[in-house]
Structure 1
Amino acid sequence: MSILETSKKVIENVTGFARPRKQAVAGFVRQRKSNEFWFKDDGLVPNHPAWPLVVYRGAVELPEGLDPAAVMEVLFDANGWGDSWRNGIYDYVHYHSQIHEVLGIARGNAEARFGARKDERCR
Structure 2
Amino acid sequence: MFDPRKDNNDIERMYFQDDGMIPNHPHLPVLLYKGVWHTDPVGAESRFNRNGWSNSWVNGVFDVHHYHSNAHEALAVISGFVKLIIGGEKGQKIVLESGDVVVLPAGTGHKRLKASPNFRITGAYPGGMSYNTRTGEPGERPQVLQEIREVSIPDTDPVYGRGGPLTKLWLNRNN
Gaps of 5+ in 1: 1-25
Shift of 1:85: 1.1
Residue 28 of structure 2: aligned partner: 51
TM-score by length of 1: 0.62
For 1:61 and 1:37, the matched residues in 2 are separated by 22
Question: Which structure exhibits the higher relative contact order, with contacts defined as CA atoms closer than 8 Å and separated by 6 or more residues?
Answer: 1
Between the aligned partners of 2:17 and 2:63, the Cα distance in structure 1 is 21
Distance in structure 2 (CA, Å) of the matches to 1:79 and 1:109:
24
Residue equivalent to 1:37: 14
Matching residue of 1:75 = 47
Shift of 1:119: 5.2
The offset of 1:91, in angstroms, is: 0.9
**Is the 8 Å Cα contact of residues 13 and 32 (structure 2) preserved in structure 1?**
yes
Matches within 5 A, 1:14-25: none
Q: CA deviation at 1:87?
A: 2.4
Q: CA RMSD in A?
A: 2.1
More strand by share: 2
- 2:16–2:91 contact (8 Å) kept in structure 1: no
AA at the equivalent of 1:96: H
Identity level (%): 37
Q: For residues 114 and 37 of structure 1, what CA distance do their matches in structure 2 show?
A: 9
Cα distance in 2 between the residues matched to 1:113 and 1:96: 15
Counterpart for residue 85 of structure 2:
113
Equivalent pair of 1:34/1:56 in contact (CA under 8 Å): yes
* Structure (1 or 2) with the larger CA radius of gyration: 1
Which stretches of structure 1, 4 residues or more, deviate above 6 A after TM superposition?
Answer: none
Q: 1:74–1:46: structure 2 CA closer, same or farther, 3 Å change rule? A: same
**Deviation of 1:117 (Å):** 2.2
Distance 2:59 2:39 in 1: 17
8 Å CA contact retained: 1:40, 1:116: no
Instruction: Report Cα offsets for 1:15-56 as digits up to 9, x if no partner.
Output: xxxxxxxxxxx79xxx47011110110111111121011101
Cα distance in 2 for partners of 1:42, 1:61 equals 33
